[in-house]
Amino acid sequence: MRRKFIAGNWKMNKTAEEGAALARELVKALAGGGKADVAVCPPFTALAAVGAELKGSAIALGAQNMHWEKSGAFTGEVSAGMLVSAGCKYVILGHSERRGLFGETDATVNRKLAAALAAGLAPIVCVGEVLAEREAGRTLEVVAGQVRNSLANLDARDMLKVTLAYEPVWAIGTGRNATPEQAQEVHAAIRGLLAELFGKASAEAVRIQYGGSVNAANAKSILSMPDVDGALVGGASLKAADFAAIVGSS
């Protein structure tokens, strides 16, 4: 039985002070513990302040991006080791906003994945089709290509440390979530491909989150699907009550 995993992607929101305040609220709201693993991924500048608030709680810290090199002349970048030292357990890789706005490709995601695993981080690898691809009936083909190429050269043991996030780009920030059935179809296809690539046991153990306009009202129906193992939540993760309600739906 896979344990559900709910992660909040704060994107470019919250200063250190604002992030610490939200983290304090979340620690209070989720104090009872629960059945799901929970993480929040603030911007780099808020990691330390948020991490300090999360200490001793069951909420883990994650980052939204990283570079594949350990150090060097890469102005504006942050390494996996730096994230570990900032208290991160998780790192989101290949989010569609990174792919679409900042030129990330499956190849760069793959390099980042190897570096993240080498540093001991648990990566959350994002995949998902754009609207034109869905409308052309190419969703499964596009997502399979992203999964194959982003996870290239990974062995089955390392795969167990990875979470996948299926985030249809047309559902992100639009208020138009995938239906539970649409999510399930893609999640099941991803799991089938993982079985082919890494064996059935790994495929059954890997968690696949859904992301894209998840909120307190729709979380339960999406999370009830058999191959949906959690959620990667954007906008609704910025309000403690909403995020706590989503965690409570899992």
Does 173 engage in binding with ligand 13P (CB under 6 A)?
A: yes
Q: What is the DSSP letter of 225?
A: S
Can you tell me whether residue 134 is helix, strand or coil?
A: helix
Q: Is 233 in the site for ligand 13P (CB under 6 A)?
A: yes
Tell me if 109 contacts ligand 13P by CB under 6 A.
no
* Shortest Å distance, C-beta 215 to ligand 13P: 8
- Asked if 246 touches ligand 13P (CB under 6 A), the answer is no
Residue 167 annotated as catalytic = yes
Q: What separation in angstroms does the CA of 141 have from each of 32, 111, 169?
A: 42, 22, 15
Nearer to ligand 13P, 83 or 202 (CB): 83
Q: With H, G, I as helix, E, B as strand and everything else as coil, classify residue 232.
A: strand
Total of chain residues touching ligand 13P, rule CB under 6 A: 14
Q: For ligand 13P, which stretch binds (CB under 6 A), given 132-140, 184-192, 196-204, 227-235?
A: 227-235
Beta-strand pair 122-127/59-63: unpaired
Smallest separation (angstroms) from ligand 13P to the CB of 93: 11
- In the list 234, 246, 249, 250, the residue contacting ligand 13P (rule: CB under 6 A) is 234
Please give the Cα distance from 97 to 111 (Å, whole number).
18
Of 78-86, 180-188, 190-198, 226-234, the segment contacting ligand 13P by CB under 6 A is: 226-234
Q: Is 94 in the site for ligand 13P (CB under 6 A)?
A: no
Instruction: Look up 196 and say whether it is catalytic.
Output: no
Which one is catalytic: 53, 104, 133, 167? 167
Specify the DSSP element, H or E, that contains 107: helix 106-119
The contacts of residue 116 (CB under 8 Å, 6+ apart) are 66, 80, 91, 93, 122, 123
Nearest distance from C-beta of residue 167 to ligand 13P, angstroms = 5
Token couple for 230: 């959690």
Nearer to ligand 13P, 173 or 226 (CB): 173
Report helix angle 240-248 to 16-29, nearest 10. 40
The string of DSSP letters for 168-191 reads: -GGGTTSS-PPPHHHHHHHHHHHH
The structure tokens listed for 2 are: 């896979």
| Rounded distance between C-alpha atoms, residue 115 and residue 90, angstroms | 13
**Distance between CA atoms of residues 194 and 155, nearest Å:** 11
Q: Is 235 in the site for ligand 13P (CB under 6 A)?
A: yes
- For ligand 13P, give the closer residue by CB, 206 or 216: 216
Residues 8-47 within binding reach of ligand 13P (CB under 6 A): 9
Active site (catalytic) residues: 95, 167
Which residues in this chain contact ligand 13P in the complex, by CB under 6 A? Answer: 9, 95, 167, 172-173, 211-214, 232-236
